[in-house]
């Protein structure tokens, strides 16, 4: 509805602000923290110029519910075609649906530079609020917003503001959110580096999540957009998403109409692709991170040395090994001469006694009684082969030896149970590359003795 007036330019806007509760602006006081705005119209009887948006729908996506709406009615002596009217219209015409969600108060430089009617600023909303201070302004704030429809009525117009909850941008009925998400992601500084795929993809997934997107499907959608921007192939794209995010898409029957219609045909992948690139992992075989078990590996190496080098065996070493090692130990013997007696299941102390060989070679013969140089396992020490997250060395020596030859060194890898509580398996290896890598990291010195470098 519209009534006539003379001599003034009248404008009606609705601002979205971050203020809530006691921070909400009082009546007739403009807020200072607007993150979104909708101009219903700006019209003047002076030059009969008008910007009328009362019949259109303007959508904004905002994070959370702790926001306020402030209706602003402004009357000014400036014509609607003047700097203020043009500025308001120009600013709000280029703000995208996700602008308030992505960037808060400040417009991107590329957008701010397009506003030429008033001097561009780092915070155009501040300029907007400054412009509205010209003339007479009336406001009506509403805080603690709820889903539903709010109706604002003035002498010459009425507008409705509808608030609804959105669980997922991709699943939402408003396609502009999805289109804008794709555009925003492509313009974002986050990049996928094919040479550092795992690291950069993880950073990108967290980056999209940090923006406020919590839906697995939304993050997956954004990652496909980033993958396309980076130009990586389908195998790398699936690896980049990880199995959870990839299957969030492939598990949907409507994936073609919901997801793939927005991307190039060559970007599409199927569940068959996911299973081939990222096969299902037996979670029980996954070893804990090194930082989780480092203290236990340290205790294991120390206790093994104390047990093997002293007779009778110290009670503290026996107690610690009883706690650290499961009663039955699954041994994988990868040595060429089966130093550990071959693969098999051993009682904890039966295996230790067999390894240290105390029953067949009494002192002072050299035995595997020295332990040390433990560290985190890497691909260079077989992480990709067996998944063990730690490795340490065992040395065939006498109690009083200060040096040992490279040929008398074995590598051992503890395998922890599913709860990481104790060690249920041990891998014994004579792999020279692994041993050399560990010794190089330790400068060929382990504890109180050194190792002769191989010739």
Per-residue confidence band for 9, with pLDDT thresholds at 50, 70 and 90: confident
**Residue 449 pLDDT exceeds 90:** no
Q: Where are the alpha helices (DSSP H) in 138-233?
A: 175-187, 197-210, 216-230
Percent of the chain with pLDDT over 90: 35
Give one DSSP letter per residue of 89-121, joined into a string: HHHHHH--TTHHHHHTTPPPHHHHTT--SS---
Mean pLDDT of 30-49: 69
Structural contact between residues 234 and 124, judged by C-beta atoms closer than 8 angstroms: no
d(CA 324, CA 303): 10
Say which range, 128-137, 202-211, 251-260, 387-396, has the weakest mean pLDDT.
Answer: 128-137
Mean pLDDT of 224-235: 90
Mean pLDDT of 408-421: 91
Q: What is the pLDDT of residue 8?
A: 73
Per-residue confidence band for 91, with pLDDT thresholds at 50, 70 and 90: very low
d(CA 327, CA 346): 8
**Residue 301 pLDDT exceeds 90:** yes
**Is the overall model pTM greater than 0.85, yes or no?**
no
Backbone phi, psi, residue 111, to 5°? -85, -45
User: For tokens 């560990």, what's the residue?
Assistant: 438
d(CA 32, CA 434): 63
Per-residue confidence band for 114, with pLDDT thresholds at 50, 70 and 90: very low
Q: Which residue, 271, 255, 259, is CA-closest to 221?
A: 259
DSSP-assigned letter for residue 128? H
Per-residue confidence band for 89, with pLDDT thresholds at 50, 70 and 90: very low
CATH architecture group of domain 285-452:
Roll (3.10)
| Residue range(s) of every CATH 3.10.450.50 domain in the chain | 285-452
Chain centroid offset of residue 114 CA? 33
Q: In sequence order, what are the residues at sequence separation of 6 or more whose Cβ sits closer than 8 angstroms to the Cβ of residue 447?
A: 370, 372, 373
d(CA 89, CA 1): 21
Backbone phi, psi, residue 401, to 5°? -65, 140
Q: What is the pLDDT of residue 124?
A: 55
Give one DSSP letter per residue of 38-65, joined into a string: EEEEEEETTT--EEE-TTS------SSS
Cα distances from 302 to residues 269, 372, 394, 428, 430, in angstroms, run 50, 8, 12, 18, 21
Q: In sequence order, what are the residues at sequence separation of 6 or more whose Cβ sits closer than 8 angstroms to the Cβ of residue 71?
A: 12, 13, 14, 15, 139, 140, 141, 142, 152
Mean pLDDT of 259-280: 92
Q: What's the mean pLDDT when you consider all of the chain?
A: 78
Structural contact between residues 195 and 79, judged by C-beta atoms closer than 8 angstroms: no
d(CA 216, CA 209): 9
Mean pLDDT of 285-308: 92
Mean pLDDT of 61-74: 75
**Residue 372 pLDDT exceeds 90:** yes
DSSP-assigned letter for residue 212? T
Name, of 17-26, 123-132, 229-238, 294-303, the range with top average pLDDT: 294-303
Q: What angle do CA 297, 302, 304 make, to 5 degrees?
A: 95
388: left (phi over 0), alpha (psi -120 to 50) or beta: beta
Residue 192, CB-side half-sphere exposure with 13 Å CA sphere: 29
């Amino acid at each position: 509805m519209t009534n006539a007036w003379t001599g003034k330019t009248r404008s009606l806007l609705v601002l979205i602000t971050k203020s809530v509760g006691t921070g909400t602006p009082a009546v007739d006081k403009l807020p200072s923290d607007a993150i979104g705005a909708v101009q219903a119209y700006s019209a003047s009887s002076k030059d009969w110029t008008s910007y009328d948006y009362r019949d259109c729908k303007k959508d904004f996506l905002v994070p959370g519910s702790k926001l306020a709406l402030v209706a602003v009615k402004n009357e000014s002596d400036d014509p609607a075609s003047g700097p203020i009217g043009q500025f308001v219209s120009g600013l709000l015409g280029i703000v995208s649906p996700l602008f308030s969600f992505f960037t808060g108060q400040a417009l991107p430089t590329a957008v701010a530079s397009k506003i030429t009617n008033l001097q561009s600023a780092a915070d155009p909303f501040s300029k907007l609020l400054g412009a509205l201070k010209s003339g007479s302004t009336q406001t009506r704030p509403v805080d603690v917003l709820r889903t539903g429809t709010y109706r604002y009525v003035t002498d010459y117009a009425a507008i409705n503001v509808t608030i609804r909850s959105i669980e997922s941008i991709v699943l939402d009925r408003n396609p502009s959110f999805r289109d804008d998400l794709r555009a925003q992601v492509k313009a974002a500084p986050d990049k996928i580096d094919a040479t550092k795929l795992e690291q950069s993809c993880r950073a990108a997934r967290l980056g999209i999540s940090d923006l406020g997107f919590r839906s697995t499907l939304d993050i997956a959608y954004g990652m496909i957009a980033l993958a396309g921007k980076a130009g990586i192939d389908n195998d790398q794209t699936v690896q980049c998403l990880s199995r959870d995010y990839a299957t969030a898409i492939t598990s949907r029957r409507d994936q073609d109409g919901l997801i793939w219609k927005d991307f190039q045909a060559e970007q599409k992948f199927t569940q068959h692709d996911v299973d081939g690139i990222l096969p299902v992992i037996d979670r029980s075989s996954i070893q804990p991170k090194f930082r989780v078990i480092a203290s236990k590996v340290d205790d294991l190496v120390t206790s093994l040395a104390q047990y093997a080098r002293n007779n009778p065996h110290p009670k503290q070493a026996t107690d610690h090994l009883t706690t650290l090692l499961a009663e039955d130990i699954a041994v994988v013997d990868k040595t060429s001469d089966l130093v550990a007696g071959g693969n098999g299941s051993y009682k904890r102390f039966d295996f230790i006694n067999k390894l240290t060989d105390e029953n067949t070679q009494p002192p002072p013969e050299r035995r595997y009684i020295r332990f040390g140089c433990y560290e985190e396992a890497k691909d260079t020490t077989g992480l990709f082969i067996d998944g063990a997250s730690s490795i340490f060395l065992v040395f065939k020596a006498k109690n009083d030896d200060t040096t040992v030859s490279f040929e008398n060194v074995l590598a051992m890898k503890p395998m922890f149970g599913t709860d990481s509580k104790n060690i249920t398996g041990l891998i014994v290896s004579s792999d020279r590359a692994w041993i050399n890598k560990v010794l190089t990291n330790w400068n060929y010195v382990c504890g109180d003795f050194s190792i002769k470098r191989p010739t």
